[in-house]
């Protein structure tokens, strides 16, 4: 299809005059230009919105690229900004979190109460010998204590590594080992679709094999009974019974490590992406305020898991820095009924709702009636993140949920970017399926292999041409990998390679196409083909495997696997389902393949690299393209 034709079918949507009039951002072109021409001035000015113990010497230290530093010499702690600075102001009495468990139990926390709880948890982990620089692993359901644990680490200058509670024992162990954690904070279990997820059971298996862990704190949530190991295991409620609720916040450097978050890449070993106190605090709070137009009376709901970057940045840190009230929900979105979320939106009078295309498609499947039963009049803005949103889901979200009055902020970003990078502001003309244009301070472009900006409509690589405060600083313990994955492709230019392909239209709108590496997005979750393949071959009957992502109506993409069995093994349906279950046990439910196909060989290059695109083309009945490099 020619570009003119493609353009012709794209419908545009204009935010209402009322939305535009009230927006925190009133103008794009000029501010954008200024922010790119002089990023130091732009970010330096905004950084004054944060509370610093000591002002920075330099906004950006770019003397050793790609290891950029922001606000060097500055002393800050993100918790000082997220909690301490609100004490003694009207925000102290405001709700920080409105929490709801899946069974319907509720809990509210004001900023003042949050301060107390975080201080207690901080004193507890300090008493277990955790000091600045240590990395504490957290493996918890979506309960308030998860947030306390993250903030408690940050408060004392230690770092956290939250491992998503949907991951299994092996994934948890690898992450604990990589971070060399001495402490694990967990819960007995959590609720999901009416069932108890027995987290502590998984933890008990894991901790038998992790040499670094000395202590494990367990929050009692499901009360279903668990084995506690003497000397190692501590019940949270017992351990904090006599602990002081006052704890000074550690004065950290702007560049001190705030957290590690593991994400998938091209090789099997997960990457521990490192973020820091200063730049991350500034970046996340700024983009939330500007894109979601945060006002004092907002009720903000980011329907994500705190175990992923979306939750770190937009359930925990940015909303707290901005003094916002946030909804935190433990369970499955369509449990016990498909209107669980809409009932809550209406009851809590949620004003801004942010979720993933997968969730939207899931709601859409149950039909409009479940939404229409509830008064969603409080909503004024909607958001989407995690993968490109297909226009039909966009339209449904806009019409049925937003009643054509709440514009959708489709935010493109990554674990590595800290916060939104390409996204509309509430004043932006919207095109369903496009994250629109780069935010202020973000010099994003689509380029060809030679680094030239692509022509309108031409596919190319998404790059960011200038550093920004929320950027990852490195991969834990692996500076070389950080350099080679993100910065080597356009080393002379000094550009960040995002790993996505994209095209730009005549209005400069960016359309994300797909990942260019071996990363699969399933329901918005990021998984590496190599990780899944290594889980497959760890099954005794499997000698070789390859996985590909094929389009899926609900999940966006789903995993399909091809395996070569050992000579002596019989192919059977039972074996196929046993292999699926094996991956589920090894990695967690999200990584379980949709199909297992037994094959005798796999298409490979002469250098032995599996050509996944050939498998994919074959599965989809498409032309596999250039096969000149294929061996067999």
State the residues that interact with ligand WT7 by CB under 6 A: 263, 309-310, 385-388, 410-415, 435, 498-500, 512, 515, 521, 526
The minimum distance between CB 94 and ligand WT7, in angstroms, equals 27
The DSSP annotation for 381-401 comes to: EEEE-SSPPPHHHHHHIIIII
The minimum distance between CB 147 and ligand WT7, in angstroms, equals 18
Q: Which residues contact 211 (CB under 8 A, 6 or more apart)?
A: none
Local structure of 380: helix, strand or coil: coil
Q: How far is CA 101 from CA 82, 98, 326, 627, in A?
A: 24, 10, 14, 53
| Cβ proximity to ligand WT7, 272 vs 386, nearer residue | 386
Q: How far is CA 76 from CA 84, 241, 259, 280, 378, in A?
A: 12, 30, 15, 11, 36
Q: Which residues contact 330 (CB under 8 A, 6 or more apart)?
A: 99, 100, 101, 102, 141, 142, 143, 190, 191
- The sheet with strand 542-552 has its strands ordered as 542-552, 556-565, 595-598
The minimum distance between CB 298 and ligand WT7, in angstroms, equals 21
Closest CA to 596 of 547, 524, 531: 547
Q: Which residues contact 60 (CB under 8 A, 6 or more apart)?
A: 39, 40, 43, 68, 69, 70, 467
| Cβ proximity to ligand WT7, 144 vs 270, nearer residue | 270
| Cβ proximity to ligand WT7, 249 vs 423, nearer residue | 423
Tell me, rounded to whole angstroms, the distance of Cα 242 from its chain centroid. 36
Residue 249 CB neighbours (<10 A)? 23
| Cβ proximity to ligand WT7, 498 vs 547, nearer residue | 498
Helices (H), 47-168: 78-82, 111-127, 144-155
The minimum distance between CB 416 and ligand WT7, in angstroms, equals 7
| Cβ proximity to ligand WT7, 512 vs 587, nearer residue | 512
For residue 570, count CB atoms less than 10 angstroms from its CB and return exposed for 0-12, middle for 13-18, buried for 19 or more. Answer: exposed
CA gap 12, 316 in Å, rounded: 33
| Cβ proximity to ligand WT7, 122 vs 502, nearer residue | 502
Q: Is the separation of the CB atoms in 227 and 235 below 8 Å? A: no
Q: Which residues contact 574 (CB under 8 A, 6 or more apart)?
A: none
Q: Which residues of 294-306 are buried (b: 16+ CB within 10 A; e: fewer)?
A: beeebbbbbbbbb
The minimum distance between CB 343 and ligand WT7, in angstroms, equals 26
CA gap 336, 324 in Å, rounded: 28
The minimum distance between CB 524 and ligand WT7, in angstroms, equals 6
| Cβ proximity to ligand WT7, 168 vs 411, nearer residue | 411
Q: Is the separation of the CB atoms in 71 and 473 below 8 Å? A: no
The minimum distance between CB 162 and ligand WT7, in angstroms, equals 13
| Cβ proximity to ligand WT7, 240 vs 435, nearer residue | 435
The minimum distance between CB 409 and ligand WT7, in angstroms, equals 9
| Cβ proximity to ligand WT7, 74 vs 383, nearer residue | 383
| Cβ proximity to ligand WT7, 236 vs 301, nearer residue | 301
The minimum distance between CB 263 and ligand WT7, in angstroms, equals 5
The minimum distance between CB 526 and ligand WT7, in angstroms, equals 3
Helices (H), 448-544: 479-482, 529-537
CA gap 372, 378 in Å, rounded: 14
Closest CA to 317 of 155, 158, 179, 132: 155
The minimum distance between CB 491 and ligand WT7, in angstroms, equals 20
For residue 505, count CB atoms less than 10 angstroms from its CB and return exposed for 0-12, middle for 13-18, buried for 19 or more. Answer: middle
| Cβ proximity to ligand WT7, 192 vs 515, nearer residue | 515
Residue appearing with tokens 């970017």: 417
The minimum distance between CB 506 and ligand WT7, in angstroms, equals 20
| Cβ proximity to ligand WT7, 435 vs 461, nearer residue | 435
The minimum distance between CB 163 and ligand WT7, in angstroms, equals 14
CA gap 602, 583 in Å, rounded: 20
| Cβ proximity to ligand WT7, 331 vs 556, nearer residue | 556
| Cβ proximity to ligand WT7, 270 vs 331, nearer residue | 270
Q: What are the φ/ψ torsions at residue 362 (nearest 5 degrees)?
A: -65, -45
| Cβ proximity to ligand WT7, 243 vs 590, nearer residue | 590
The DSSP annotation for 52-77 comes to: -SB--SEEEE-SSTTS-EEEET-EE-
Which structure tokens are listed for 611? 């050509």
The minimum distance between CB 522 and ligand WT7, in angstroms, equals 11
CA gap 483, 247 in Å, rounded: 38
């Amino acid at each position: 299809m020619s570009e003119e034709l493609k353009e012709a079918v794209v419908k545009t949507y204009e935010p209402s005059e009322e939305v535009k009039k009230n927006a925190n951002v009133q103008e794009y072109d000029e501010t954008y230009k200024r922010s790119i021409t002089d990023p130091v001035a732009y970010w330096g000015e905004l950084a004054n919105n944060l509370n610093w113990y000591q002002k920075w010497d330099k906004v950006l230290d770019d003397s050793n690229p790609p290891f950029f530093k922001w606000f060097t010499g500055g002393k800050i702690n993100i918790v000082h900004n997220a909690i301490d600075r609100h004490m003694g102001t009207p925000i102290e009495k405001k709700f920080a979190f409105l929490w709801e468990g899946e069974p319907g139990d509720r809990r509210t926390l004001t900023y003042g109460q949050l301060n107390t709880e975080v201080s207690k948890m901080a004193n507890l982990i300090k008493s277990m010998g955790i000091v600045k620089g240590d990395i504490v692993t957290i493996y918890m359901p979506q309960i308030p204590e998860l947030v306390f644990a993250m903030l408690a680490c940050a408060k004392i200058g230690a770092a956290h590594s939250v491992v998503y509670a949907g991951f299994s024992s092996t994934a948890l162990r690898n992450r604990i080992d990589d971070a060399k954690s001495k402490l694990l904070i967990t819960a007995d279990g959590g609720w999901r679709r009416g069932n108890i997820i027995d987290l502590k059971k998984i933890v008990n298996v894991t901790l038998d094999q992790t040499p670094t862990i000395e202590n494990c704190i367990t929050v009692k949530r499901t009360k279903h009974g668990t084995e506690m190991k003497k000397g190692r295991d501590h019940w949270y409620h017992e351990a904090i019974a006599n602990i002081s609720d006052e704890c000074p916040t550690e004065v950290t450097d702007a560049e001190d490590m705030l957290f590690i978050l593991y994400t998938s890449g091209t090789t099997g070993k997960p990457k521990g992406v490192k973020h820091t106190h200063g730049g991350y605090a500034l970046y996340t709070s700024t983009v939330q305020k500007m894109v979601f137009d945060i006002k004092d009376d907002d009720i903000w709901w980011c329907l994500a898991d705190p175990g992923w970057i979306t939750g770190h940045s937009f359930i925990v840190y940015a909303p707290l820095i901005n003094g916002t009230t946030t909804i935190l929900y433990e369970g499955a979105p369509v449990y016990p009924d498909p209107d669980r979320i809409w009932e809550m939106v209406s009851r809590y009078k949620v004003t801004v709702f942010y979720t993933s295309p997968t969730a939207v498609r899931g709601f859409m499947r149950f039909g409009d009636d479940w939404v229409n039963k509830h008064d969603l009049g409080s909503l004024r803005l909607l958001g989407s993140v995690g993968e490109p949103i297909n226009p039909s889901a966009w339209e449904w979200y806009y019409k049925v949920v937003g009643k054509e009055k709440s514009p959708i902020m489709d935010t493109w970003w990554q674990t590595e970017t800290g916060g939104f990078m390409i996204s509309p502001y509430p004043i932006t003309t919207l095109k369903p399926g496009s994250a629109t244009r780069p935010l202020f301070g973000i010099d994003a472009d689509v380029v060809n292999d030679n680094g030239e900006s692509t022509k309108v409509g031409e596919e190319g690589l998404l790059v960011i041409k200038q550093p920004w405060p929320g950027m990852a600083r490195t991969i834990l313990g692996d500076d070389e990998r950080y350099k080679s994955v993100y910065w080597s492709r356009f080393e002379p230019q000094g550009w960040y390679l995002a790993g996505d392909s994209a095209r730009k239209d005549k209005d400069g709108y960016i359309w994300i196409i797909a990942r260019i590496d071996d990363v699969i997005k399933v329901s918005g979750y990021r998984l590496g083909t190599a990780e899944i393949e290594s889980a497959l071959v760890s099954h005794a009957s499997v000698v070789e495997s390859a996985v590909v992502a094929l389009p899926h109506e609900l999940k966006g993409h789903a995993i399909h696997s091809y395996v070569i069995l050992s000579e002596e093994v019989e192919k059977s349906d039972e074996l196929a389902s046993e292999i699926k279950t094996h991956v589920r046990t090894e990695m967690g439910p999200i990584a379980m393949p949709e199909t297992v196909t037994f094959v005798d060989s796999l298409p490979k290059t002469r250098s032995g690299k599996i050509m996944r695109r050939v498998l994919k083309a074959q599965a989809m009945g498409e032309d596999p393209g250039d096969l000149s490099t294929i061996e067999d």
